[in-house]
Structure 1
Amino acid sequence: MIWSNFIFLSFSLLWLGVYARGDAVDYKPTSNLVDDLLYSIAKATDCVSCHGLLISLKATAHLGDDKFVNALISICKTLKIQDQDVCEGIFLGPGPIIAHDLRSIPATGETSNRFCNAMMGVCKQPPVKNYTVPFPKPELSSLVVKRTRPSRRPPFQVTHFSDIHIDRDYAINSEANCTKPLCCRAFEDQTDPITIPAGPMGNHRCDSPTRLAESLFQAIDATNSAFAIFTGDIVPGAVWLVNETEVEKDFATFLSLTGSSKIPIYPALGNHEVAPVNSYPRNTSTGYEDEAQWVYDMASEGWMKWIGSPAANQVVHHSGSYSLLVPETKLRIISLNTGFWYKVNFWLYDSTESQPDPNGLLSFMVSQLQEAEDAGERVWIMGHMPMGGGDVFHDQSNYYDQVIQRYRRTIVGQFFGHTHADEFQLAYSNYSYQTKDTATSMSWIAPALTPRSGNPAFKVYDVDPDTYEVMDMKVYSSDLSESGYQENPTWTLLYSARDLYGPLIPGGLDTSSAFTPGFWHQVTEVFEKNDTAYRVYDLYKRRNGGQCSAYEECKERTICGVRAARSENNCALLQRGFGFGRTVMGEKGTVADRGYAYEQEQCESVTISDVLVGMVEGVGEMVFGMVSDLFSKLVGE
């Protein structure tokens, strides 16, 4: 998400540049006009202003990819939004994709509305288009699951880890308080004396050193799990340096670190496992449809030792998705590449044609679920991005939910990552009447390994051997603030969900009962009435990574989000810029009300680095002093 913020600001300033050259209007700019335009852009919260911006951007894109990208880089450097190398790298990858989008779609209409929503946060997502997912067979009311109550046999364990973001270039004793979006690397332009040296096992301004990942996998082996699920994101957050070669090296590092694992690992692709980040093209992007095939080929080969040849072949032919039956069980795992439903995958904006099922992933999901239902199997769905977040297309989330509702008696769990938070989401048969009786499915969302957004953590599930329902969920964590952490992280039990939440519901949770969606809905009702219980959940959700000052609003929106595994029902705020929040220019060009928006984003588990916040503040302070020089250069071209 880092680069989308840079692009957002640069787009706004590029609009000024085009405007100044006279491409948009026959008017000679003055300093007062500059001030007025800057204020207008800061206040631009409607679709009209964004569509006006797209008109200018389209004109620039038609000059060619190089000129489009170079214009963005030039503005970034001129205004010193980021270091020179970050300005260059941040636009080289996604810039041509966005230019392609702009040349392919009109500046007005539904697709451009979606584009403005994803890029600028100034247009609401359009209403969900009516589409009924086709199913090969209707649901049978007489369908009976082999066992409807958990067995008395001991449960087996499954580990769930996510968002490891291993940084191969992590440098011990390098600057952890650097000027870039990600620190703890030996950057050539970082020549000042070290103020905060990077420790061997990580820092909250940095991604995971290899040694921390090694410690994680040792801890996972100690859980005696039957298998592990990994819900994606290997590549570190230095997105301005990511290319195909770097992704391949990061992927190879992951395979090497897990080479001695005692258990199979069933993975999913994350949005960082491709270069440029997030960029999975649809098979309708003529001439570009195979741009991510190298990712699927790489994953197929690397995962084959765990998932087997048939599933590995599916990875190649189903855009990174696969299905398998866990050996010696009746549990089927369906792993989906959720990148085709992600709002900041900019390949999804190059056509105005309605495409309810990009690359046929929903069709693949349905086919595998139908086979499982026919065979009397139970199913776990896994992927990187949970379907209820504010960064999911409402259309695809709605269609996905149709599948979940149709096969709700077969699906016994959904597992995701992406948010870096320890949280969950609930699906309902009737979102207008949310009760324990209408709750139909549960999404478990794993915390991250990377210290960048909190203390490293992972989950272990106790799973019933007959129903494959989750009987308990335990979170293990390592605290960066503990003495001895940098020498040897200690992974300790943070909490047991059964012990923590079971006693809270009326009558308590019976020792033989599984964690049903209805149980978790009752827990959300406790959160509404019991501030202590909610605060504990919020603390663990953030991995001890801070708190929200706007408490009541934060609590209300958090509970709303938990009850929204369908994204159109969440309470995510529409905010300008993907990570900026609502930035308003105050007197003398200062940025006003930024802190409030920043905390709101934190409440929604959207990670915003201190560097990005500082960037917004810095631009607000300097832009009035620098933009006139920029205008003079642009007018003189």
Structure 2
Amino acid sequence: MNMPKFLSGALKYMDFKQVFFEIEHSLLSSVSCTACKAGVGLLQHYIKTGKTNLEIAHAAIKLCLSLKIETKRVCVGIISLFADEVIYIMERLILEPEEVCGIIVGDGCEVPYIPWHDWNITFPPIPKPPADPLTTTMSSPPVLKVLHLSDNHFDPHYAPGANADCGEPLCCRITDGPPENPKAAAGPWGDYRKCDTPLQTMENMYQHIAYTHPDIDYIYWTGDIPPHDVWNQTHEEQLHVIQLTVKQLLDFFPHTPILPALGNHESAPVNSFPPPNVKNHFSIQWLYDELDRQWRRWLPDSASQTVRYGAYYAVPLRKGLKVISLNMNYCHNKNWWLLLNTTDPAQELQWLVYELQAAELNGEKVHILGHIPPGHSDCLKTWSQNYYRIINRYENTVVAQFFGHTHFDEFQLFYDEAQPTRAVSVAYIGPSVTPYYNLNPGYRVYTIEGDYKGSSYAVMDHENWYLDLKEANHYNHPRWRLLYSAKSSYGMRSLSPQEWDYLVHKLSFNDNLFQQYYKYYWKASPLRPKCDEECKKRLLCDLVSGRSNDRKNTCVKIEQRMSEQESSWRSWLVNGLTITGAFLLFLPLGFQIPSVFG
């Protein structure tokens, strides 16, 4: 099957290596935009010319192989999994490639305004109460301990000694063949290359947590359970991994309530989460029904209806504290179903407003859980903006947010829309359990203010623990260690949004502090790359970007601070050299400058 001429010519000049890097790291730019438009245009061309699903899939596989995008089994597997679903969606689209890619890629694409993809959430006609800063009324308040687990990516097929350098999206399995040399062999406790978490590492971590943190009151579990073999997944295999992981948690934490959130890897195909109105064979009900069965071990019966409908729920955790778990896949730009209608899929955000309004009227505080951080570029712009408005409106009610997805140790700040310099909320982004990739495994423990009448239930501090994978594999003995405590390591008076904002300010001009943050961000990985000025700017921008695809506005302060810092240093250096030169010029000939070396 031949490609249309305008596309066959364009494909020759595409930097596919850069495209794959951008997709993998969610750093989409004009390069990804061009590739997206070419791909969507090609697919729409085949559909319009009456090609069958089989013919389109065959052409896509041929293209994947000829461009050496992936190995044959990955090309065949991923296209076979996605073909029918993507074609079904594209047949029903009324969007042009530029518009499709504007939604998917975001800021990396300049696209015309699409009115039916721009929508606003409705708020009750109740005025926002005055801002009420979180304050502790007791000198030593009682506390709760909350364990945050995220991105387990447990691989039941991980095989120590298998090929860890297989050149595919996931390695370290028997099916990857023997390693070409001893250095390519998968480590016994995991691997820094594209490999997920072995069973013995999962169990060792749970055992360590149960022993080291016997005072854990709750576990916040923010999704991504299955491994990264996205070309080779079935409904049955996904459910099997979920069931195995739930059993592990029950074995090690039989009496600890667990509050889960759904990740983007739980579905098959990956990222595929049709809204509830899709009732045909593409329906996601197979997953939501099983989640309801598994989660009922920890959630009340009242949560079952919304879990089965959209995999989100709200539960009262303690007197004065409610936990709301969101299905962030309804904001995910890689969920192709949203192209048909992005307007509040599953009515989730409108439901969130009602829950938060009820909490406000009842004087309750709320913790929000989810997988994809709402300010991440993977979250659709309009959905993210509406969520940002909700957090602004209910800043007195939402006292903490907890997400995962990035695998790094980081956070995101939300600011008052009426007073943009005032931080109103912080989203904590927990480190991944999986080392995928170039990372150490990690987890986090929060100290939460409570339990007493009038408690804020705010985060007072968090500890971050990690496994030095290099050491564990070298000695075949894992040791989990405390990496840092946020409050003491960053010199913070509290973990209020305002203090986190002040930390970002300090990070922008204190390079020693930034390098410390950067080490923690990578969970002390020995493979973390050097971070230049552009890298630093990007990471700091991420911290203040609670709205996705809006970096032009959210990063202005960071860029200003960094340019001012650079300018001040340049001025100091130039002025210093000028003064020194003048001083040397007029020195008496016989005067000796004392040596700094004595």
The corresponding residue for 1:280 is: 273
Q: CA deviation at 1:571?
A: 6.1
Structure 2 CA distance for aligned equivalents of residues 150 and 562 of structure 1: 30
Query: Residue 460 of structure 1 aligns to a residue in which SS?
Result: strand
Q: Are residues 151 and 378 of structure 1, via their aligned partners in 2, closer, same or farther at CA, if it must alter by over 3 Å?
A: farther
Which of 553, 561, 567 aligns to 2:542? It is 561
Q: CA deviation at 1:302?
A: 0.4
Query: Residue 554 of structure 1 aligns to a residue in which SS?
Result: helix
Query: Residue 4 of structure 2 aligns to a residue in which SS?
Result: helix
Q: CA deviation at 1:154?
A: 3.2
Contact 2:128 2:394 in 1 (8 A): no
Query: Residue 39 of structure 1 aligns to a residue in which SS?
Result: coil
Total equivalences in the alignment? 528
Structure 1 CA distance for aligned equivalents of residues 291 and 545 of structure 2: 31
Which of 488, 496, 515 aligns to 1:499? It is 488
Q: CA deviation at 1:142?
A: 5.9
Structure 1 CA distance for aligned equivalents of residues 72 and 488 of structure 2: 51
Which of 308, 322, 341 aligns to 2:331? It is 341
Q: CA deviation at 1:59?
A: 2.7
Q: Are residues 341 and 517 of structure 1, via their aligned partners in 2, closer, same or farther at CA, if it must alter by over 3 Å?
A: same
Q: CA deviation at 1:137?
A: 4.2
Which of 104, 111, 123 aligns to 1:135? It is 123
Q: CA deviation at 1:230?
A: 0.6
Q: Are residues 47 and 477 of structure 1, via their aligned partners in 2, closer, same or farther at CA, if it must alter by over 3 Å?
A: closer
Q: Which amino acid aligns with 1:311?
A: A
Structure 2 CA distance for aligned equivalents of residues 46 and 252 of structure 1: 36
Query: What do residues 56-97 of structure 1 show as CA deviations (whole Å, max 9, x unaligned)?
Result: 321323422222122111222344432221111111222222
Q: Are residues 134 and 201 of structure 1, via their aligned partners in 2, closer, same or farther at CA, if it must alter by over 3 Å?
A: same
Establish whether residue 462 from structure 1 lines up as the match of residue 462 from structure 2: no
Deviates further, 362-371 or 194-203: 194-203
Please show how residues 242-257 of structure 1 align to structure 2 within 5 Å. 242-257=233-248
Query: What do residues 171-227 of structure 1 show as CA deviations (whole Å, max 9, x unaligned)?
Result: 122112223221110116658666532222111121000111112222332312101
Q: CA deviation at 1:386?
A: 0.3
Structure 2 CA distance for aligned equivalents of residues 130 and 123 of structure 1: 16
Structure 2 CA distance for aligned equivalents of residues 153 and 163 of structure 1: 32
Structure 1 CA distance for aligned equivalents of residues 537 and 233 of structure 2: 38
The corresponding residue for 1:616 is: none
Deviates further, 191-200 or 293-302: 191-200
Contact 1:299 1:315 in 2 (8 A): yes
Structure 1 CA distance for aligned equivalents of residues 445 and 79 of structure 2: 39
Q: CA deviation at 1:143?
A: 8.5
Q: CA deviation at 1:426?
A: 0.3
Structure number with greater Rg is: 2
Please show how residues 304-343 of structure 1 align to structure 2 within 5 Å. 304-317=296-309, 319-326=310-317, 328-343=318-333
Establish whether residue 19 from structure 1 lines up as the match of residue 4 from structure 2: yes
Which of 415, 427, 440 aligns to 1:428? It is 415
Query: Residue 269 of structure 1 aligns to a residue in which SS?
Result: coil
TM-score of the pair, normalised by structure 1:
0.76
The corresponding residue for 2:358 is: 371
The corresponding residue for 1:607 is: none
Which of 494, 500, 520 aligns to 2:500? It is 520
Establish whether residue 361 from structure 1 lines up as the match of residue 352 from structure 2: no
Contact 1:390 1:572 in 2 (8 A): no
Which of 191, 194, 219 aligns to 1:203? It is 191
Structure 2 CA distance for aligned equivalents of residues 146 and 547 of structure 1: 36
RMSD: 3.0
Please show how residues 85-124 of structure 1 align to structure 2 within 5 Å. 85-106=73-94, 108=96, 111-114=99-102, 117=105, 122-123=109-110
Q: Which amino acid aligns with 2:84?
A: P
Query: Residue 3 of structure 2 aligns to a residue in which SS?
Result: helix
Structure 2 CA distance for aligned equivalents of residues 572 and 19 of structure 1: 39
Q: CA deviation at 1:287?
A: 3.9
Structure 2 CA distance for aligned equivalents of residues 548 and 398 of structure 1: 32
Structure 2 CA distance for aligned equivalents of residues 41 and 156 of structure 1: 50
Q: Are residues 73 and 52 of structure 1, via their aligned partners in 2, closer, same or farther at CA, if it must alter by over 3 Å?
A: closer
Which fold has the larger relative contact order, with Cα–Cα distance below 8 Å and residues 6 or more apart in sequence? 1
Structure 2 CA distance for aligned equivalents of residues 561 and 531 of structure 1: 17
Contact 1:105 1:111 in 2 (8 A): no
The corresponding residue for 1:60 is: 46
Structure 2 CA distance for aligned equivalents of residues 333 and 211 of structure 1: 31
Establish whether residue 271 from structure 1 lines up as the match of residue 264 from structure 2: yes
Deviates further, 172-181 or 548-557: 548-557
Which of 436, 441, 447 aligns to 2:425? It is 441
The corresponding residue for 1:212 is: 201
Contact 1:47 1:122 in 2 (8 A): yes
TM-score of the pair, normalised by structure 2:
0.81
Contact 1:526 1:533 in 2 (8 A): yes
The corresponding residue for 1:38 is: 12
Percent identity, please: 31
The corresponding residue for 2:569 is: none
Structure 1 CA distance for aligned equivalents of residues 57 and 325 of structure 2: 35
Q: Which amino acid aligns with 1:87?
A: C
Structure 1 gap segments, 5+ residues each: 1-13, 26-33, 504-508, 574-637
Query: What do residues 347-374 of structure 1 show as CA deviations (whole Å, max 9, x unaligned)?
Result: 112x2x5x42111010121121122112
Structure 2 CA distance for aligned equivalents of residues 36 and 280 of structure 1: 32
